[in-house]
Structure 1
Amino acid sequence: MIRTLIVLGAVFWAAQASAVTCEKLTHEDKRYTICEVDAATEDLRLFLKDENDELLGHFSSVNETLEPTGKRLAFAMNAGMYHDDRSPVGHYVEDGQEVMRVISNPGPGNFGLLPNGVFCIREGRADVFETLDFIDQAPECRFASQSGPMLVIDGELHPRFLLDSTSRYIRNGVGTSKDGTRAVFAISEDYVTFHEFGSLFRDVLETPNALFFDGNISRVYDRAANRSDVGFSLGPIVGVVEDVP
């Protein structure tokens, strides 16, 4: 398998001074933006509504809510599927409060293409769990967002992914290391299949478990690169929060 990394080899995974570092990467002729977070040390959160129960929906709105606290986003990405009213399709927890229960049964669309999974943020770590495993382990997540399908499950691609698929979209998702210290977020800059996107997490990013967040509406915020993708309102948003200098 041919890989082309537009980064300085192993330096990509080296210790980083900023809260999160985003890099460009090309794998099998498809371009991606990859953002890695040290989940053991960084302030990684999920956002849905403000203190007045109003939908945030945009990266700029999240920054507005953080500003009075002397904080701001360093990085953000849409973080799971949602209904027309932007409420989460599956399990959602924010700051320890459950907003939506776990959905374990199959259903329509990508979310119901089992196995799906849950992205869970706990003290000092972040993990992607397959949904039934999440139910069995019952981790106490400070933040959690359920989405689907899983991209990588214990080092293997989702069994329904087809090598010759013709379904191509801009896609985004997250993978985590076994010890929970690495949370690696990716968004494609080209239209990709599930098989191509899952292979990125398995073969290049080397995350044993990875979860699809969404496709077509995928967006990312990277303060260091002065990038803030815009569009219609999002549902759940994941972000790294840092102090304003």
Structure 2
Amino acid sequence: MGKIPRHRRLAPLLAPLLALFAAPALAAPECRDIAHEGRAYTLCTLDAADDDIRLFHKTDGKVIGSFNRLETMLEAEGLSLTFAMNAGMYHEDRSPVGLYVEQGRETAPLVANPGPGNFGLVPNGVFCLMEGRAAVVETLAYRANPPACRYASQSGPMLVLNGKLHPRFLKNSTSRHFRNGVGVGADGRTVHFVISDEPVTFWEFGSLFRDQLGTPNALYFDGSVSRLFAPAIGRNDTGFPLGPLVGAVVRKP
């Protein structure tokens, strides 16, 4: 039998190493700094058809409450957290103020009446994740025709509704706070998560979604507790214990 060429003898040894380098890197949402009307924001854009976006609230009966604890929980499931943000208002016990659905199970009911605070500044709405799609739906429209949400979180106010800013927003307002929210593109796939990097008014924040991101509907998540986890840009905000969280996950290789 003739001598096997050296390159053929090395091939079985090199194959696993080559496969390692050829393997795709862990998917990460596109997160970047943006500016609108002189104000600074961080934008993370995901695709509801390609990215595994979920809502999280409790594990083993206890509120998760932080990005670090969520990371630890997912690690045990063989998953990596690539993005996270607080995703709705909550009571002192960190239970959701309005509708909350996780893995198709409703654990808090829809609240359709006006009320105090930003949540009750109607119209408010629901962020809904369906199979391969996402939507921001005004609360009364949701109640009249509930979509098949695998995950859902109610918050308020609506920042943009059918291409228009919330009717109670004032262009000359002086009430500025750190804020975060979500808007869904007209394609039903493009999901924009935004957190302000400086205090902004509701008008300024809503205008970003309407005018720069072009989302026909967008929803406010919260203000002073606004936090972002975006390892791709080296960001992991800490601070107040949180209630509902939204995050994107990938399976570890």
Q: What TM-score comes out, normalization by structure 2 length?
A: 0.88
Q: Provide the C-alpha distance between the structure 2 equivalents of 1:68 and 1:18, rounded to a whole number of angstroms.
A: 19
Structure 1 residues 133-144: aligned runs within 5 Å: 133-144=141-152
User: 3-state SS of the aligned residue for 1:165?
Assistant: coil
1:185 paired residue number:
193
Structure 1 residues 87-126: aligned runs within 5 Å: 87-126=95-134
- Structure 1 residue 54, shift from structure 2 partner: 0.8
2:66 paired residue number:
58
Deviation sequence 1:1-48 (CA, Å, 0-9, x none) = xxxxxxxxxxxxxxxx93311010011110000000011111000000
- Structure 1 residue 177, shift from structure 2 partner: 1.3
User: What RMSD in Å do the two structures reach over aligned CA positions?
Assistant: 1.0
1:36 paired residue number:
45
- Structure 1 residue 179, shift from structure 2 partner: 2.6
Q: Which residue type is aligned with residue 196 of structure 2?
A: S
Q: Which residue type is aligned with residue 31 of structure 2?
A: C
- Structure 1 residue 178, shift from structure 2 partner: 2.1
More helix by share: 2
Report whether the alignment pairs 1:172 with 2:180. Answer: yes
- Structure 1 residue 128, shift from structure 2 partner: 0.3
Name the count of aligned residue pairs.
228
Q: Provide the C-alpha distance between the structure 1 equivalents of 2:206 and 2:240, rounded to a whole number of angstroms.
A: 26
1:48 paired residue number:
57
- Structure 1 residue 172, shift from structure 2 partner: 0.1
Gaps of 5+ in 1: 1-16
Deviation sequence 1:106-130 (CA, Å, 0-9, x none) = 0000000000000000000110000
Q: Provide the C-alpha distance between the structure 2 equivalents of 1:118 and 1:223, rounded to a whole number of angstroms.
A: 27
Q: Provide the C-alpha distance between the structure 1 equivalents of 2:137 and 2:152, rounded to a whole number of angstroms.
A: 10
Q: Decide which moves more: 68-77 or 109-118.
A: 68-77
Q: Which residue type is aligned with residue 210 of structure 1?
A: A
2:243 paired residue number:
235
2:234 paired residue number:
226
2:78 paired residue number:
70
Gaps of 5+ in 2: 1-25
Q: Provide the C-alpha distance between the structure 2 equivalents of 1:94 and 1:107, rounded to a whole number of angstroms.
A: 25
User: 3-state SS of the aligned residue for 1:134?
Assistant: helix
1:11 paired residue number:
none
CA 1:19 to 1:224, structure 2 compared with 1: closer, same or farther past 3 Å?
A: closer
**Which one has a bigger Cα radius of gyration?**
2
Structure 1 ranges of 4+ moved more than 3 A: none
- Structure 1 residue 223, shift from structure 2 partner: 1.4
Q: Provide the C-alpha distance between the structure 1 equivalents of 2:146 and 2:136, rounded to a whole number of angstroms.
A: 13
- Structure 1 residue 67, shift from structure 2 partner: 0.7
Report whether the alignment pairs 1:157 with 2:175. Answer: no
Q: Provide the C-alpha distance between the structure 2 equivalents of 1:213 and 1:23, rounded to a whole number of angstroms.
A: 19
1:18 paired residue number:
27
1:13 paired residue number:
none
2:3 paired residue number:
none
Q: Provide the C-alpha distance between the structure 2 equivalents of 1:141 and 1:62, rounded to a whole number of angstroms.
A: 22
